[in-house]
Amino acid sequence: SRHMIAFMVKGFVNFSLKVQFDNIPVLVAVCVSPFGIKLLKYHLSSASPEVQTQ
């Protein structure tokens, strides 16, 4: 479901923040990859409706 995906995205972001100091090149590579960009765009587009409904 949508909330499960949002939860997974938040967990992925939190995990990335924890490991960024050890694996900055890897994190940058993930962020600039097509998958990372799609994930970021999806997260931003899905965050707005959730905020409005709450």
pLDDT of residue 44: 75
Residue 12 pLDDT: 79
- pLDDT over 50 (residue 54): no
Q: Quick count: other Cβ atoms within 10 Å of Cβ 39?
A: 18
Q: What confidence tens digit (pLDDT) does each residue in 3-48 have?
A: 888 887 888 777 766 765 566 676 677 767 777 778 778 777 776 5
Token digits of residue 22: 């050890």
pLDDT given for residue 50 in this prediction: 52
Confidence at residue 19, expressed as pLDDT on a 0 to 100 scale: 63
At 32, the amino acid letter reads: V
Domain boundaries, the chain: 2-53
Using alpha carbons only, what angle is made at residue 14 by residues 9 and 22, rounded to the nearest 5 degrees?
A: 125
d(CA 24, CA 39): 18
pLDDT of residue 37: 75
d(CA 19, CA 27): 8
- For residue 44, the SS3 value is helix
